[in-house]
Amino acid sequence: MILVMTTIKVFEKIKLKDAILVEGLPGVGNIGRVAVGYLVEELKAKKFAELYSEWFFPFVMLQDNYQVKLLKNEFYYCKAKGKGQRDMVFLVGDCQSLTPQGHYDVVEKILDFAETIGVKEILTIGGLATGEAEAKNKVIGAVTDKKLMDRYKEYKIDFKAGEKVGYIVGAAGLLLGLWKERDKDGLCLLGQTAGFPIVTDPKAAEEVLDIVTKILKLKLDMKKLEKKVKEMEDFIKKVEALQKRALMDISKAPAGQNPPSGGEELRYIG
Amino acid sequence: MILVMTTIKVFEKIKLKDAILVEGLPGVGNIGRVAVGYLVEELKAKKFAELYSEWFFPFVMLQDNYQVKLLKNEFYYCKAKGKGQRDMVFLVGDCQSLTPQGHYDVVEKILDFAETIGVKEILTIGGLATGEAEAKNKVIGAVTDKKLMDRYKEYKIDFKAGEKVGYIVGAAGLLLGLWKERDKDGLCLLGQTAGFPIVTDPKAAEEVLDIVTKILKLKLDMKKLEKKVKEMEDFIKKVEALQKRALMDISKAPAGQNPPSGGEELRYIG
Amino acid sequence: MILVMTTIKVFEKIKLKDAILVEGLPGVGNIGRVAVGYLVEELKAKKFAELYSEWFFPFVMLQDNYQVKLLKNEFYYCKAKGKGQRDMVFLVGDCQSLTPQGHYDVVEKILDFAETIGVKEILTIGGLATGEAEAKNKVIGAVTDKKLMDRYKEYKIDFKAGEKVGYIVGAAGLLLGLWKERDKDGLCLLGQTAGFPIVTDPKAAEEVLDIVTKILKLKLDMKKLEKKVKEMEDFIKKVEALQKRALMDISKAPAGQNPPSGGEELRYIG
Amino acid sequence: MILVMTTIKVFEKIKLKDAILVEGLPGVGNIGRVAVGYLVEELKAKKFAELYSEWFFPFVMLQDNYQVKLLKNEFYYCKAKGKGQRDMVFLVGDCQSLTPQGHYDVVEKILDFAETIGVKEILTIGGLATGEAEAKNKVIGAVTDKKLMDRYKEYKIDFKAGEKVGYIVGAAGLLLGLWKERDKDGLCLLGQTAGFPIVTDPKAAEEVLDIVTKILKLKLDMKKLEKKVKEMEDFIKKVEALQKRALMDISKAPAGQNPPSGGEELRYIG
């Protein structure tokens, strides 16, 4: 018997050239999730693989009110079209791993898969909760190697992340840390968000998206972002509920018997 | 050395035709447990397999006051008899997994086993704690696919679960989510219960049972349900104690040294 | 690479005939630990194997003040000598598993080993914390099968354990539960102790020991028990500190940085 | 698929003779980390291997403010030069394992590796938080075997550790406990530190270092220690933040959504 903790289901076998993977999983301010979700929509990127894992919450989401759906991460791709563009892979999803150990396992599986499809560079997007009321729109960056800082120096990224933060937590950090161990290149962009971490911040997402589109040589109409965020509202609410739920420490209660949460969207069930 | 976290012991090798598996493990209001337990009794369904797991509580229950018994899930079957009936498998048990990761492992093992014995469809039963005093007797449903909604539309199920809940937790949800990944069909029915999750609600179980019997084309005398629930009282008390215990977070205390719980039925031992 | 979570080191290969294994690991009132420790000393039983596990605390104990020692469980044996006696194996140790899953793993390893050396029956000893001031000296029992109740009915054991407790936690329970799955026989004896679980209760241990010696057809001088408990005082203090520590939830703090505990014997280090 | 939880990357294949491994991972007062870090710097020891693990925090640190770096343990070596010296291996790093089980796994991997490169003896360094204001400069010791106590009796080590502490927690203890199971020798030195465990105590580190240099027959200028500790300040702050973070129980929050910590250096991100 083989232990398979994390499964990647591939719908379409693809082989990309010098591709860049852009990660936007739920996290602080859902900045990555919103930014990369917008890219996927605007570019009409195509879903080609899904990942699910024993390390995720033991839940199913309800889609369109009636349909059960495992918590998943999803891979989309979009081939280079315009001048200076590269093949692109987008990684979005419902959640990150529930346990520290799971983060390592899921991230290693993602990197194994990324290598097989031709990903050469990784760009992760996250948020930095400043805890201060006044917004700071400077995007903060960190890299796997000094040469990356030179490569991206033209984009007004503040490469003094270490002065403000000690660590980059979860997928946004580990994808780069473990990618670097494979002698590969990567960049992390962090939008600064004032509020509480689990409140989605489309403004901070726009700041990051502005730089990401320049890096990817994309011409996107940013004006639709706010509208798109509204359309994503139902999904965002569920992700926020999932994050709140996580803070309540699901691991303490058996499935199906979690104490009531008060909030409508969190009324448990099972 | 092979790691076997979850074991299924098969007493009788069976092969069913187009069978439906009906799950009723302990959960909110113990609705599934009571409803499916009643079906097993009334149909005189035959036990053919048992499952135990490292992911369960490290406890043994005391049966008939003197006999130790591992915590288990149990499989019963009942061949199609009446008109329009299908072969049926019933899954009941003492508990669900203690950890998030364990849920995935146990559910995958159940689905592997279900496939080998000819199960084609899964019906899971759970509860939705509304947190409101007034009872709501509408049964809520969710499905693996839209076509299932059409299949079961005649049964007065409210297929707008997503308006009331964000997720279906534990086995009731994961059995369907992971079953859907195998391109299989399934339905989840959730009884609405007003009270605190770990208080058994036979009224809500009856609401669900009313629909389940119609789906399965069974003719059952519902009047005996209340009497049966009384007969199951000892077992129900133990399951409720187990659930309370889980909420106290067993994982924090070493076995045999758990702090006293106050309640008689929870006086620890070991 | 093979995952070995639990290791049994065998010093002497033995093959016993129709042996009974008597378990006394730390637990409520340390009743089993004291009772079986006394048997080992009085019978001059011989240590022939040790078990250690990744599921134990990530600590070493300090023996004779200066010597590090992994937390272990230990196996001793004593061949049948007197009339009606059986070959005996004694299982004592410093601790039980730290996590629920670990309990199952450690217990399965013990049972695998027990089968290879000729153990046919298991007798586990634990404590029941009544939470009441007045001592109750009736020893409570539970069995794997009704026939065991008949076998041991002459020993004034109260076989109505289920009226007082819902579950038997940890090794005392799981050893029997998983042993029963192998179609083997076993008995659990629980001394009733009034006080807080992590206070050693030699009086309750004596009550249990009185029955155990009769079952094993041993003639032991009980008067030395109190003296022996005093001699074991240093060890007992360490086990109690270990148990208190467990209640503080070691899993929350990284090793070497646990918050101070106040008690002298618990001043952390590392 | 093989589960690799802990990875050791070897940069230079070395074979040492009768080497001693000196461990100084973060812990109480960071005494080991500071002392061994100073040895590595002063001896210009050469890094030859790195270890990272799924059992570590799911974080990356930020080096020089802009560069991501996995949390790691690092191996350095320095061949015997002076009279009476031995080949030396130094083990330092960013963190210890996050979970009890992880400690065993990481330590076993370290010991496997140590054996392959010729390590014969292990010297671990830790701290003992006395919880008292007045400093105690006596260094406390524990050994794998009595003969080690004789070997090191000339160095004014107080071998009555057991009178003051019950256990040695984490790597400092487990490295010796599991090394002893391989019939190998080892010594643990514990500096006494008055303050709260996660405040680095260079004074206590100096007390330990004084003995360690004598054991290793090294002539080091201790006066530079205070200066070096200042130079290490940035790293020390990060390790302290990591330790504080651990005490907040990272396992309760999903990555990227950890609640704000107040302290500047802990502002989360992800």
Taking only the tens place, the pLDDT of each residue in C76-117 is: 999 999 899 999 999 999 999 988 899 999 999 999 999 999
Name chain A's partners: 3 or more CB pairs within 8 A.
B, D
How does pLDDT run across C255-265, given as a tens digit for each residue?
A: 333 333 322 22
Q: Record the pTM.
A: 0.90
Lowest mean pLDDT among B3-17, D4-18, D227-241: D227-241
State whether B167 and A60 contact (CB < 8 Å): yes
Better-predicted residue by pLDDT, B229 or A210 = A210
Mean pLDDT of chain C: 86
Out of C5, C250, C260, the one facing D131 most closely (by C-beta) is C260
Distance from CA of A143 to the nearest CA of B (A): 33
Listed residue (D129, D133, D51) closest to D91, CA to CA: D51
pLDDT tens digits for D31-80? Answer: 999 999 999 999 999 999 999 999 999 989 998 889 999 999 999 999 99
| Total beta-carbon pairs less than 8 A apart between chain B and chain C | 191
Residues of chain A with Cβ-Cβ distance to D60 below 8 Å are 167-168, 173-174, 176-177
Minimum CA–CA partner of A142 in chain D: D66
Q: Do A249 and D250 touch (CB under 8 A)?
A: no
Using the beta-carbon criterion (under 8 Å), do D169 and C256 form an inter-chain contact?
yes
Query: Which residue matches tokens 């006066």?
Result: D223
Confidence of residue A154 (pLDDT cuts 50, 70, 90): very high
Give the integer Cα–Cα distance in Å for C84 and B118. 53
CA A217/CA A120 separation, integer angstroms: 17
Which of chain D's residues have a Cβ under 8 Å away from the Cβ of A99? 251
* pLDDT at residue number B58: 93
- Which one of C3, C52, C258 has the shortest CB-CB distance to D169? C258
- Two tokens, residue D106: 């990481």
Interface mutation vs chain A, best among D1, D3, D60, D234, most A CBs within 10 Å: D60
Of B251, B235, B252, B253, give the one whose Cα is nearest residue B26.
Answer: B235
Residues pairing with D78 in the sheet: D88
Does residue B222 have a pLDDT over 60? yes
Q: Using one digit for the tens of pLDDT, what is the confidence trace for B233-248? A: 778 888 887 777 766 5
* Sign, Cα dihedral of B147, B148, B149, B155: positive
CA distance C48 to C38: 17
The band of B159, judged by pLDDT with boundaries at 50, 70 and 90, is: very high
**Looking at the predicted structure, is the pLDDT value of residue D264 above 50?**
no
A40-50: average pLDDT: 97
pLDDT tens string D162-205: 777 778 989 999 999 999 999 999 999 999 987 665 688 888 99
Residues of A in contact with B177 (CB under 8 A): 60, 68-70
At D100 the three-state DSSP class reads: helix
One-letter amino acid identity for D131? G
- A contacts of B246 (beta carbons < 8 Å): 253-254, 257
pLDDT of residue A229: 82
- Average pLDDT for C9-21: 97
Any idea what DSSP says for residue D139? Answer: P
Residues in chain B closer than 8 A to C95 (CB atoms): 254
- Report chain A residues whose CB lies below 8 A from the CB of B71: none
Nearest-CA residue of chain A relative to B55?
Answer: A254
Q: Could C66 and D149 be called an inter-chain contact, meaning their C-beta atoms sit closer than 8 Å?
A: yes
Q: How confident is the model at residue D95 (pLDDT cuts 50, 70, 90)?
A: very high
C to D CB pairs, distance under 8 Å? 190
pLDDT higher than 70, residue C6: yes
Q: How far apart (Å, rounded) are the C-alpha atoms in residues C242 and C249?
A: 11
Report the residue from D127, D162, D176 with minimal CB separation from C65.
D162
Least confident of A22-26, A85-89, A264-268, D157-161: A264-268
Contact C27/B250, CB-based, under 8 Å?
A: no
Asked if D166 contacts C238 with a C-beta cutoff of 8 angstroms, the reply is: yes
Chain B neighbors of A55, CB-CB under 8 A: 100-101
Q: How far apart are CA C63 and CA A203, in angstroms?
A: 61
Comparing C-alpha atoms, which of D185, D208, D230, D101 is closest to residue C269? D208
C226 phi and psi, to 5 degrees?
Answer: -60, -40
Residues of B in contact with A56 (CB under 8 A): 100
Q: Which residue of D has its CA nearest to C50?
A: D181
Burial grade of A235 (CB within 10 A; 0-12, 13-18, 19 or more): middle
Would you call A170 and D69 a contact, using CB atoms and an 8 Å cutoff? no
The alpha-carbon gap from A4 to the nearest alpha carbon of chain D, in Å, equals 8
Rounded to 5 degrees, φ, ψ at D92 are -125, 175
Cross-chain residue pair B251–C126, CB shorter than 8 Å = no
* Cβ-defined contact of D61 to A166 (cutoff 8 Å): yes
Structure-token pair, residue B217 = 């084309």
On chain D, the residues whose CB falls within 8 A of the CB of C267 are: 128-131, 164-166
Buried b or exposed e, range B209-234, using 16+ CB within 10 angstroms: bbbbbebbebebeeeebeeebeebee
* Alpha helix positions (H), A56-160: 100-116, 146-151
Residue of A141, A146, A170 with shortest CB distance to D256: A170
Highest-pLDDT range among A136-140, A159-163, B6-10, C96-100: B6-10
pLDDT in tens, A166-199: 789 899 999 999 999 999 999 999 999 876 656 8
Q: Where are the alpha helices (DSSP H) in B136-191?
A: 146-151, 161-164, 171-180
Helical ranges in chain C per DSSP H: 31-42, 100-116, 146-151, 161-164, 171-180, 202-215, 224-231, 233-247
Chains linked to B by 3 or more Cβ pairs within 8 Å: A, C
In this predicted structure, what is the pLDDT of residue D177?
97
- Nearest neighbour of A129 by CB, restricted to D5, D68, D268: D268
C132 pLDDT band (50/70/90 cuts)? confident
Q: What is the sign of the dihedral through the CA atoms of D208, D214, D215 and D218?
A: positive
pLDDT greater at residue A234 or residue B112: B112
Assigned token pair, A233: 């509202």
Coil, strand or helix at C207: helix
Distance CA(A187)–CA(A143), nearest Å, equals 4
Adjacency order of strands within the sheet including C73-78? C6-10, C46-53, C73-78, C88-93, C19-24, C119-129, C185-193, C140-143, B67-70, B59-63, C167-169
Q: How many angstroms separate the CA atoms of D234 and D231, rounded? A: 7
Tokens of C103: 């309990």
Residues of C in contact with D247 (CB under 8 A): 252-254, 257, 259
Strand, helix or coil at B41?
helix
Q: Round to whole Å and give the CA distance between D191 and D197.
A: 12
String of DSSP letters for A182-213: TT-EEEEEEEEE-S-TTS--HHHHHHHHHHHH
User: Predicted confidence band at B96 (pLDDT cuts at 50, 70, 90)?
Assistant: very high
Q: What is the DSSP letter of C158?
A: B
pLDDT higher than 50, residue C230: yes
Please give the DSSP secondary-structure letter assigned to residue B138: P
What is the mean pLDDT of the segment spanning C58-77? 94
pLDDT of residue B75: 98
* Predicted confidence (pLDDT) at residue A156 exceeds the cutoff of 80: yes
| Dihedral, C99, C104, C105, C111 alpha carbons, nearest 10 | 140
For A247, nearest residue in chain D (alpha carbons): D253
Closest Cα of chain D to C205: distance in Å? Answer: 25
pLDDT tens profile B110-154: 999 999 999 999 999 999 888 776 666 789 999 999 999 999 999
Q: Which of B167, B182, B190, B247 would you mutate first to test chain A, the one with the most A CBs within 10 A?
A: B167
Stated length of chain C:
270
Q: Report residue C9 as tokens.
A: 């080191």
Report CA dihedral (B210, B212, B217, B221) to the nearest 10 degrees: -40
How is D168-193 classified by DSSP, letter by letter?
A: EESHHHHHHHHHHTTT-EEEEEEEEE
Contact D150, D99 (CB under 8 A): no
pLDDT surpassing 50 at residue D149? yes
Residue C248 binned pLDDT confidence (cut-offs 50, 70, 90): low
Give pLDDT, residue B65. Answer: 87
Span A45-70, mean pLDDT? 94
B108 bridge partner residues: none
Comparing CB atoms, the residue among C4, C100, C188 nearest residue B57 is C100
Cβ neighbours of B267 in C, within 8 Å: 128-131, 164-166
Place B223 in a pLDDT band, splitting at 50, 70 and 90.
confident
Chain A residues with CB inside 8 Å of B169's CB?
58-59, 255-256, 258, 268-270
Backbone angles phi, psi at D137, to 5 degrees: -95, 0
Compute the average pLDDT of residues A146-152: 95
What does the pLDDT average to over B164-191? 93
Q: What are phi and psi of B241, to 5 degrees?
A: -65, -40
Nearest to C237 by CA among D190, B251, D127, D162: D162
Number of residue pairs across A and D with CB atoms under 8 Å?
190
**Interface probe with D: pick from A138, A169, A247, most Cβ of D within 10 Å:** A169
The pLDDT score that the predictor gives to residue C133 is: 67
CA closest to A9 among chain B residues? B181
The pLDDT score that the predictor gives to residue A221 is: 86
Q: What is the pLDDT of residue B246?
A: 67
Q: Quick one: how many helices (H) and strands (E) in chain C?
A: 8, 11
A/B interface, count of CB pairs below 8 Å: 189
Alpha carbon distances (Å) from D255 to A97, A168, A176, D258: 7, 9, 15, 6
Q: Is D8 strand, coil or helix?
A: strand
**Average of per-residue pLDDT values in chain A:** 86
* Two structure tokens written together for D112: 């496997």
Distance CA A8, CA C172 (A): 42
Beta-carbon contacts of A97 under 8 Å, excluding residues fewer than 6 positions away, are A53, A55, A56, A103, A105, A106, A170, D58, D254, D255
Under DSSP, the state recorded for D262 is S
Planar angle of CA D10, D11, D15, nearest 5 degrees: 70
Mean pLDDT in residue range C136-162? 91
The reply to whether residue D166 touches residue C98, judged by beta carbons under 8 angstroms, is no
**Residues whose CB falls within 8 Å of the CB of residue C142, separated by 6 or more in sequence, listed in order:** B62, B66, B67, B68, C159, C161, C162, C168, C176, C187, C188, C190
CA D203 to chain centre: 16
Which residue from D minimizes the CA distance to A182?
A: D9
The chain A residue lying nearest B179, using CA atoms, is A70
CA distance B236 to chain A (A): 15
Half-sphere exposure (CA, 13 Å, Cβ side) for D127?
37
Q: Is D260 within 8 Å of A174 when comparing Cβ atoms? A: no
Taking an 8 Å cut-off on Cβ atoms, the answer to whether A266 and B28 are in contact is: no
Tokens of D118: 């010729």
- Could you tell me which of A141, A125, A143, A126 has the C-alpha nearest to residue A184? A143
Tokens read off for B167? 């997720």
Rounded to 10 deg, the angle between the A100-116 and A171-180 helix axes is 60
